Chain A
């Protein structure tokens, strides 16, 4: 099996659904990272059979707001001195910018080049979001 060393300090994104790792990698802008990043795909898992993982070395302040939307099964481990100092499960973000496209053909975002798509969380249970501009609702 492929081995990637444990990190001393940084963030480990674990329990990512197999296949979603690359999407998260791109979305977090890790392609241009100046620190070491390991993207592990199809790692054997007792709980998930196969999972993806991302190990990010040296930084602890990455904006992970969108993780809840990209893959709600992800767990985030913050590592310092080689130990897990904080372990969090992700939540749906309250505000999502540039990730959801409004399907309402009458929405201003359907024809205006400017203006990022913005969606606001309406209901955590039903995973429903509302377009900031036109109010159109979508389930994610």
Chain B
């Protein structure tokens, strides 16, 4: 703390305005259209990825993004086994890493860790996920995917299915979409995993024309949705294995269920998927979750370039 340099970070999905989101999407589209034009944009720049909990996908996505921009990556695959074990505080680790790198990606199991890191870092910090709270680049990825396939981010019916209580990607996505207005949400979850009240209130206050319908039945939301967003029910959220197994198999997307949905609906998933989408669904052209992961890399390229002020 005490640094007077104004540095922009990306900690919370609502840190960026809708205009900033749109600018990032526009840049990501330019990168997709002519990747060679951007392949040396971050030449000579270093990104440090500090991951205090494992997340192969997110780390690979960030590292691929930086490398495709011509930058290089300093990576600590599991920071929790290194300096933190010796008792070093996050604030100290961040200040040290900021001395080596031009930009930092932090994933940490504690909520608000990235916000704290941003107070100490004289270089941009990107929140790669902090506990059950935020994962803003997943939101960026999700919004970019919807924009790409639907051509808009308002006037949509979005069905969200699975763990809506602990699924951090869900909370951020709902808030960011609600900000665009005129969105209808179908929240499909077991009673035990419903969207928390405070998130619901925030969403309803957030944008004009936002509607929320809650249901425990998957079929209802499926028929009307433009977007079906599936999530994993995470084992680590349960104290009791029996409860986990019972709920895990509640909402499984199969080709039979897909037959109920619109021809133009898209199925999204933050990955990794476990059992909630059967392998057969992958063949359906509406299943876009692997393309979603790829789009995530491009929009992360745009984010890195924006925060490093090289565009």
List, in ascending order, chain B residues with CB within 8 A of A136's CB. Answer: 111
Given A108-B90, A114-B91, A115-B91, are A132 and B115 neighbors across the interface (CB < 8 Å)?
Answer: yes
Q: Interface SS of chain A: helix, strand, loop or mixed? A: loop
Interchain CB contact (< 8 A) of B112 among A107, A113, A114, A137: A107
Given A108-B116, A112-B116, are A134 and B90 neighbors across the interface (CB < 8 Å)?
Answer: no
Chain B residue total in the interface (Cβ 8 A): 19
Q: Are A133 and B112 in contact, CB atoms less than 8 angstroms apart?
A: yes
The answer, yes or no, to whether B132 is at the interface (CB within 8 Å) is yes
A13 vs B76: C-alpha distance in the bound complex, in angstroms?
54
Q: Nearest chain-A residue to B12 (Cβ)?
A: A135
Given A114-B90, A134-B133, are A107 and B115 neighbors across the interface (CB < 8 Å)?
Answer: no
The answer, yes or no, to whether A106 is at the interface (CB within 8 Å) is yes
* Proximity string of chain A (80-116) to chain B, C-beta cutoff 8 Å, 1 when within and 0 when not: 0000000000000000000000001011111111110
Given A106-B132, A115-B119, are A134 and B111 neighbors across the interface (CB < 8 Å)?
Answer: yes
18 A-B contact pairs sorted by A residue (CB < 8 Å): A108-B108, A108-B111, A108-B112, A108-B115, A108-B116, A108-B130, A109-B112, A112-B89, A112-B110, A113-B89, A114-B89, A132-B115, A133-B112, A133-B113, A133-B115, A134-B112, A134-B131, A135-B111
- B residues whose Cβ falls under 8 Å from a Cβ of A: 89-92, 108-113, 115-116, 119-120, 130-133, 198
Extra contacts besides A114-B89, A133-B113 (5): CB < 8 Å: A112-B91, A112-B110, A114-B92, A134-B110, A136-B111
